[in-house]
Amino acid sequence: MTKVLAIDVGGTKLSYAIINEKGEFLSEVKKTSTSKNIEELVQTFKNIIAENENEIDMTAFATAGAVNIENTKVDSSTPNLPKGYNDIDLSTLSAKPVFVENDANAAAWAEYKVGSAIGEDNNITITLGTGVGGGFIVNGKLLRGKSGRGGEVGSMKINGHGRVCTCNRKDCWESYASGTGLKYTAEEVAQTDPIFSTSIFKNKQPKEVTTYDIVAGLKENDEYSIKVFNIWKQDLITGLINITNIFDPETIVISGGMGEFIDTKEVENAVNSEIVVSPIKIKLAKAGNHAGMIGAALLACEKF
């Protein structure tokens, strides 16, 4: 049996556990915070590895940020990770082999190997959270591109409305189909559509309506909330149609916090009614909150 120390490095939380080559957990998942100071963060990595190194065969990082093509370090990362993180060669932190993969790619691999797309050599995992992330399996292999940065489907421009994304570009799918996108749509509808005056949120300023308000409004049958959610859903569907026509996948797995609010069968039917390739399945993710760790561990087992 192979034992992998899997470490998930998120913008705020850091989790780790020992996982075997079947993706099974051999230890409890331990958690700490991700330090904003790079020396502290590296020391945390060293401590975790030292604590486990005798027992394990290798270490696997699932991390936020773009990972280099050699799977040894992060090449570029989001501002919520400490400055200098991109300069750390993670592969030098252990005497045993170290593997590094982007967390969205690792999560997609977990869905392929032990989750909702087992045995499907062409499948996609889309994460709908604060942003929109994607992991693509093509011919049974992870799509990483020339530099390891492939899969940036959240930056796909799907619309000519001119909405400015958090990345400062315009009309990214992420700015429509993410949780943040739902808030933007809520604000736009509140500003332009009289339906807002009948809403349970009418006493708020358009800018103040939150993603959580809309989700709560759906349960109250608030018409404004339903309208906002339907626009959001259509923008989600547009992007799913695009990637379906390009990838012709068996399944698109939906993960992330926004996944629980969609009716996968309804979205599946809407996508299948407009694509030019053969029908797909849409399923919720099954590999769980720790999909990134599982996927990174399994990929490390394949590599070493």
**Segment interacting with a second copy (CB under 8 A) among 21-29, 39-47, 57-65, 273-281:** 273-281
Looking up tokens 């049958």 gives: 221
- By CB under 8 A, tell whether 250 contacts a second copy: yes
Distance CA 113, CA 108 (A): 9
- By CB under 8 A, tell whether 122 contacts a second copy: yes
Compute CA distances 53 → 59, 279, 295, whole Å: 9, 46, 20
Distance CA 279, CA 103 (A): 28
- By CB under 8 A, tell whether 150 contacts a second copy: yes
- By CB under 8 A, tell whether 156 contacts a second copy: yes
Distance CA 125, CA 118 (A): 12
| DSSP assignment letter at 86 | G
- By CB under 8 A, tell whether 78 contacts a second copy: no
- CB of residue 161 to a second copy, shortest distance in Å: 6
- By CB under 8 A, tell whether 148 contacts a second copy: yes
Q: Which of 157, 202, 265, 303 binds a second copy (CB under 8 A)?
A: 157
Pairing of strands 141-142, 132-138: antiparallel
- CB of residue 170 to a second copy, shortest distance in Å: 9
- CB of residue 130 to a second copy, shortest distance in Å: 16
Distance CA 261, CA 230 (A): 11
- By CB under 8 A, tell whether 146 contacts a second copy: yes
**Segment interacting with a second copy (CB under 8 A) among 140-148, 186-194, 257-265, 290-298:** 140-148
- By CB under 8 A, tell whether 159 contacts a second copy: yes
Look up residue 249 and give its amino acid: P
Specify the 3-state DSSP secondary structure of 192.
helix
